[in-house]
Structure 1
Amino acid sequence: MTLEGWTQTLGAGPLLGIAAAAIAVLLFLIMKLRMHAFIALIVVSLLTAFATGIPAGRIVSVLTGGFGSTLASVALLVGLGAMLGRIVETSGGAKVLADYLIDKFGEKRAPFALGVASLLFGFPIFFDAGLVVMLPVVFAVGHRLGGSVLSYGLPAAGAFSVMHIFVPPHPGPVAASEFFGANVGYVMIVGLIVALPTWYVTSYLFGLWAGRKWVLPIPSILGQADAEHEANPPRFATVVSVLLLPLLLIFLNTGLNTLNSAGVLPEGSADTLWYQVLRTLGDTPVALLISLLVAALALGLRRGMNSTAIEQVMEQALGPVCSVILITGAGGMFGGVLRTSGIGDALADVLGDLGVPLLLAGFLISGVLRIAQGSATVALTTTAGLLTTAVAAAGMNDFQLATMVVAVAAGSVIASHVNDSGFWLVGRFFDMDVKTTLKTWTVLETLIGVMGFGIAAGIFALASIG
């Protein structure tokens, strides 16, 4: 974003100093003064705009422009995704999914089955909500089979984490895609390629090892699943179909675009009505809307829920995600100020002079912010805002842009510790003390970030060939 009639007169040194001070103040406000991240981002955005010399009469328009442009896509995806996940949750679909997989995989591979169920269920639902929904099933299996809660819990919790970090429509990768101009469909492809093997090594195998090392009893903190859901559960095939529908629709969009770019489709196909309609159906907001309507019909109306009950379920889904949406928008506001002020250009010049590859820079900056203030969303959106100009100037192809999103996302998950709400959520539900949580959950999240970045770097190198 540029302001007509205004030119930045500050040099790279002062601009980078302002950027460093802005991030330091942001961390101080969130960590020391315990200011809500939404408010802190607005305050820091305002102060940064003044400090960098943006004309005072145009500061508010810069702030609202960055906020609105981010929410234009992110709010739709997060809101629709939350509604979809809530319907699957209240229908009893999570338990059906887990029970079916355990039956098919056998009791000895119950942790693997729970992890696979969590991967599927983690596509539309956020980490916190998905974990809370799946935990009654995790604990029930643990009580039945015996052993450490870590053997069952870490594969499931890690599955929700990798999906939440790497795969749209979760807010982190969606927001970074918006900042970098990456195609969400490509981000989904790269995210899944990174997420699945990363989960297997860092969550499933590590969870089995941790379960043998720390034999912790199965907690009784949660009650049994809702009897109403058990009385009229949806079929396994129905739940899977609902969860996979948005994935297939988005792949339709990406596939058509890829085929057209490669010259496989007849010349002029992009201008035809059928092509444009199919591409529109595969756009992420439309794909999620279609999937939500199908879920309301298949998991709601056809199972006896009236329209009022379905409306209430959707309404209940929006409250918990409002904070995520607003923080993401405020991160976009901060990024907009950084871009308008010319800080992004200065950072790009410095990175170029130092020879730090953008992919590594994104991972490291995001990781530092994550460790410092705890929020993966703040770390990811702040880093994406800082690197937007440099990424735009790099001339990356679609897969490189998608990999850039995933690399920044990988940095935003490392080293979950006492300033991260997820750290306390997992520790409390698994009935672990702080020391044990640091040895298990903190290590697991760090492994996810490091391995995820390693795979992303390999994909980036392959995408750079030719």
Structure 2
Amino acid sequence: MDLLIAFVITLALITAVSLWYRISPFFTLVGGAILFGLLSGMTLDATLEGIVSGLGKVFASFGLIILCGAVIAILLQEQRQAEEIVSDIQRIVKNPPALAGFSGYLLAVPITCCVTAYVMLQPILDCLETDKLRRNVLLYLAAVGSIISYALIFPTPVVIPLFTAFGTGTSALVYNAVAIPLSLTVLAGAILFYRWARPEVSFAANPLQPGDIRQDSGYGIHWRAWAPFIAILVAIPVSFFLLGLSHVGIINFIMLVGAVTAIALAPNGIRATGLTKSAKHAGMIIFDICGAGALGYVIVKSGFTEGVLGQLIFLIPVILVPFILAAVIETAQGSRVVTAVITAEVLAGSAVVGAIHPIPLILLISAGSCIVSYVTDPYFWLVQRTTGDDINTVVKNYTLPIALAGIAILVVAIALEYLVFR
């Protein structure tokens, strides 16, 4: 069968199974890998070998990082330290929407999961605002903020596979020098979007004051809550300048330092239960991402890159190929990490990589991963459940602003490619 037709059929069935059965993405992605391998003419044995290789490759890249992020997140949650972090941010960021958006933005990166960051913030934001309309605006902004940083900043599980595949010869610091200001600008745009889209929701009548979140917290900085993140920041120059580690070594080293700091500071009673919960939470995330690696590896082994992508380059501008490919994959299965892993696998070694500078290329894929955050996106349903809004309202307040963020990132990526890197 033609590889493009096999690809479309596989993505369509992944979408249908995800919607009908709501089972773990791991099973739909591995099932999709088997289906695509057989449709593309690969033997069952070769397909299964590709699946095993893809699983192992992704686990080696992400296993330790995600486990460390889960350890930090769960131990913070068990000690209610996320509330202390938000309380500290509140002393600087007085505006409630900005507080919610920036809190989601900030937590998603070191925790290595935007959904986990939202789950940690949701009960805090529920306490901050009792009015349903205002509370929901805060929840939407926390979700959007977490996705913006998660899709753009290195090192997150979305950016790591893209930087590993395409960032040869490019410094992570240089990339973040572009990605961080861009992400903060997009976040500011998202906050303004809610002021425009929800003019009936005003926070002026109920301003937040320092100490609203934790009445017993006082006015000092909660250093124990911030300690894992401070340790990660300190570990970056140490790993780079003193230890001379590679990019892969730096990522794993700094996350280990953060996790060890969180474990060391946790009380004995919380430490053991927190580590058990962390392993369970990380395992669910890791297996889903490994399923993406399986599908991506089988697609690459089928010859898809040489065949289909070579044809697409003649049909559409090469600058749009990474963006469209990522948007299609994101629409089919809903996970930005899965989208990044599969897109990196498919594009690696293709003519597209040689035609676009690594920084715009990574931004193009990140932009595509934001375009369609709809019914196949597990985050969409989590936001719908926690806000209690109907689907149309969630589309307006979650799907639309993320799509607009994706378009903004796309425009910046194209501008960088043609105006800066050529």
Question: Residue in 1 aligned with 2:129?
Answer: 142
CA distance in 2, matches of 1:233, 1:22: 55
CA shift for structure 1 position 428: 2.4
Question: Residue in 2 aligned with 1:268?
Answer: none
Question: Residue in 1 aligned with 2:180?
Answer: 192
Calculate the TM-score normalised by the size of structure 1: 0.76
Question: Residue in 2 aligned with 1:343?
Answer: 304
Q: Which has the larger radius of gyration?
A: 1
Question: Residue in 1 aligned with 2:382?
Answer: 425
Calculate the TM-score normalised by the size of structure 2: 0.83
User: Is 2:196 the counterpart of 1:209?
Assistant: yes
Alignment of 1:21-100 (within 5 A): 21-32=9-20, 34=22, 36-54=24-42, 57-100=45-88
Kept after mapping to 2: 8 A contact 1:335/1:382: yes
Kept after mapping to 2: 8 A contact 1:67/1:332: yes
CA shift for structure 1 position 325: 1.2
Residue identity in the other structure for 1:390: S
Alignment of 1:164-183 (within 5 A): 164-180=150-166
From the superposition, tell whether residues 38 and 281 of structure 1 become closer, same or farther in structure 2 (CA, over 3 Å).
closer
Superimposed CA distance per residue, residues 184-219 of structure 1 (whole angstroms, 9 cap, x where no aligned partner):
9355554423321111112x2123334423579xxx
CA distance in 2, matches of 1:165, 1:454: 16
User: Is 2:89 the counterpart of 1:132?
Assistant: no
CA distance in 1, matches of 2:83, 2:74: 13
Kept after mapping to 1: 8 A contact 2:318/2:352: no
Find the partner of 2:262 among 272, 291, 295: 295
SS in 2 for 1:122: helix
From the superposition, tell whether residues 237 and 452 of structure 1 become closer, same or farther in structure 2 (CA, over 3 Å).
farther
CA shift for structure 1 position 343: 1.0
Question: Residue in 1 aligned with 2:330?
Answer: 370
CA shift for structure 1 position 288: 0.4
Residue identity in the other structure for 1:48: F
CA distance in 2, matches of 1:20, 1:456: 27
Residue identity in the other structure for 1:95: E
Residue identity in the other structure for 1:141: L
Kept after mapping to 2: 8 A contact 1:194/1:456: no
Question: Residue in 2 aligned with 1:323?
Answer: 284
User: Is 2:251 the counterpart of 1:284?
Assistant: yes
CA distance in 1, matches of 2:133, 2:40: 58
From the superposition, tell whether residues 291 and 374 of structure 1 become closer, same or farther in structure 2 (CA, over 3 Å).
closer
Find the partner of 2:400 among 443, 448, 453: 443
CA distance in 2, matches of 1:27, 1:425: 18
Kept after mapping to 1: 8 A contact 2:339/2:369: yes
Calculate percent identity across the aligned residue pairs.
20
Kept after mapping to 1: 8 A contact 2:318/2:355: no
Query: Mind listing any 5+ residue stretches in structure 2 that lack a counterpart?
Result: 204-211
Residue identity in the other structure for 1:405: I
Question: Residue in 1 aligned with 2:371?
Answer: 414
SS in 2 for 1:417: coil
- Paired residues in the alignment total 411
From the superposition, tell whether residues 410 and 315 of structure 1 become closer, same or farther in structure 2 (CA, over 3 Å).
farther
Question: Residue in 1 aligned with 2:295?
Answer: 334
Question: Residue in 2 aligned with 1:312?
Answer: 273
CA distance in 2, matches of 1:391, 1:324: 32
From the superposition, tell whether residues 406 and 32 of structure 1 become closer, same or farther in structure 2 (CA, over 3 Å).
same
Kept after mapping to 1: 8 A contact 2:24/2:288: no
SS in 2 for 1:123: helix
CA distance in 2, matches of 1:454, 1:426: 27
CA distance in 2, matches of 1:418, 1:26: 12
CA distance in 2, matches of 1:350, 1:283: 38
User: Is 2:106 the counterpart of 1:120?
Assistant: yes
Question: Residue in 2 aligned with 1:152?
Answer: 138
Between 118-127 and 339-348, report the one with greater CA deviation.
118-127
CA shift for structure 1 position 415: 3.2
SS in 2 for 1:212: coil
Question: Residue in 1 aligned with 2:361?
Answer: 404
CA shift for structure 1 position 34: 4.8
CA distance in 2, matches of 1:233, 1:321: 34
RMSD after superposition: 3.5
CA distance in 2, matches of 1:184, 1:27: 36
SS in 2 for 1:213: coil
CA distance in 2, matches of 1:423, 1:415: 10
From the superposition, tell whether residues 281 and 88 of structure 1 become closer, same or farther in structure 2 (CA, over 3 Å).
farther
Kept after mapping to 1: 8 A contact 2:235/2:257: no
Residue identity in the other structure for 1:285: N
Query: Mind listing any 5+ residue stretches in structure 1 that lack a counterpart?
Result: 1-12, 217-224, 257-273
Kept after mapping to 2: 8 A contact 1:49/1:59: yes
Residue identity in the other structure for 1:312: T
